[in-house]
Structure 1
Amino acid sequence: MKIAAVILAGGEGSRIGGDKPMRLLGGTTLLDRAIDYASGLSDEVAVAVRDQLVGHAGVAIIRDNPTIEGPLAGLVAALGFGRDEDADAVLTLPADMPFLPPDLADRLAERLANNGAAIATSGGYLHPVCGLWLTATLDFVPEYLASGRRSLRGLAETVGYVAVDWPADPEDPFFNINTSAELAQAERRVQR
């Protein structure tokens, strides 16, 4: 299965004061950490942004669909990128989860089977921004949008998904940075 990897970095980051992907963690931006991680999983890597200016040599920058709000806009852009790269599936990764497990892509791919998506879970929470989505999911988007729904979880339910669980103890690999306090917590984790 050919997999493209797309980092979702189009959020406003208002709870942390904006420009979240460019925040430093351990001396490296969250975006650079995500790019390094994604580059280890696929030769086809892109960063999906709404209107932020980001630039990285060797990594495609794609734009979120401007007519769609939220992470779904990034997923639609990611699926389009996957199709352009002749990928069978797209692994979506958020820019603000710096501790993703090394086996994320492999375990999601193993479980995808006859589903439209395989979504990571930990600690009883579904993380639809960390998912492996068949590029054929793009065909379901117009009808899904016409229904008025906009959530990634709702689209996953529409195409059929399997949840793949990781342990959240002692530390959740899907720890998400949204605030300055969470960034400080992540910094402490990096410094250990």
Structure 2
Amino acid sequence: MSTDVAIVILAGGEGSRIGGGKPLIELAGERLIVRALRFARRFSDCVAVAVRDARQVGSVEAQLIPDNSVEGPLGGLLAGLEFARREGRGLLLVIPADMPFLPNDLLDRLLGAIGPDQCAIAASGGSEHPVCSLWRAEAVERVPEYVATGRRSLKGLADLVGKTRVDWDDAPDPFFNINSAADLEEAERLVARWRSSEPKSTERP
């Protein structure tokens, strides 16, 4: 468990494609937000959830931080970077609430790759996943400059501050995210497959 890393779960999106309330959706009998918190707490004792409204996550045993100062995921990242600074942590790992199969080596590999850069971004299948990324807390100082340009993407901020990319080639894709009812059905199938084929001691969700 790292003593210099804060973790923030991004849970402020509307999730309109799946009818809203995405963090509250259950996978294998467990809410997505609870699964994300369980994952995060394996790596840090400094964990929070970024939300627009507390009702997005319901009752959870976690600190909630508002992400409404900037629209989109950038608001969650900004809230997270400020949270990391307040907690005296030099690094921030952000993960989304809707990726239930994140790799167990996520933090270790991002930590090992960040080097002198301000950000390390996970990637798979040829695509970057900026909502799964590790940031130096000092990157918060560059956010006002970036916001002033009118841009809001996490990729754009990462390019501004300096990033490195870390690729995973696992199958199935550990960065599979749930955006629709069909995605949820596929996630349920994956869970059932893992539970039937892997030892009970496995760390896979």
Q: TM-score range by the shorter chain?
A: over 0.9
Paired residue type of 1:60: Q
1:92 matches 2:81:
no
Cα contact 1:55–1:61 (8 A) shared by 2: no
Work out which of the residue numbers 133, 154, 159 in structure 2 matches 1:152. Answer: 154
Structure 2 matches for 1:108-119, cutoff 5 A? 108-119=110-121
Give the whole-Å Cα distance in 2 for the aligned partners of 1:74 and 1:179: 22
> Which residue matches 2:189?
188
Give the whole-Å Cα distance in 2 for the aligned partners of 1:138 and 1:70: 16
Give the whole-Å Cα distance in 2 for the aligned partners of 1:20 and 1:2: 30
Residue segments in structure 2 that go unaligned for 5+ positions in a row:
194-205
- Sequence identity (%): 54
1:115 aligned counterpart, secondary structure:
coil
Structure 1 residue 55 displacement after superposition = 3.1
Structure 2 matches for 1:1-192, cutoff 5 A? 2-53=4-55, 54-57=58-61, 59-64=62-67, 66-168=68-170, 170-192=171-193
Give the whole-Å Cα distance in 2 for the aligned partners of 1:56 and 1:41: 18
> Normalising by structure 2, what TM-score?
0.90
> Normalising by structure 1, what TM-score?
0.96
Cα contact 2:15–2:22 (8 A) shared by 1: yes
Cα contact 2:54–2:64 (8 A) shared by 1: no
Give the whole-Å Cα distance in 1 for the aligned partners of 2:59 and 2:65: 11
1:92 aligned counterpart, secondary structure:
strand
Q: Cα RMSD (Å) of the superposition?
A: 0.9
Paired residue type of 2:60: H
1:11 aligned counterpart, secondary structure:
coil
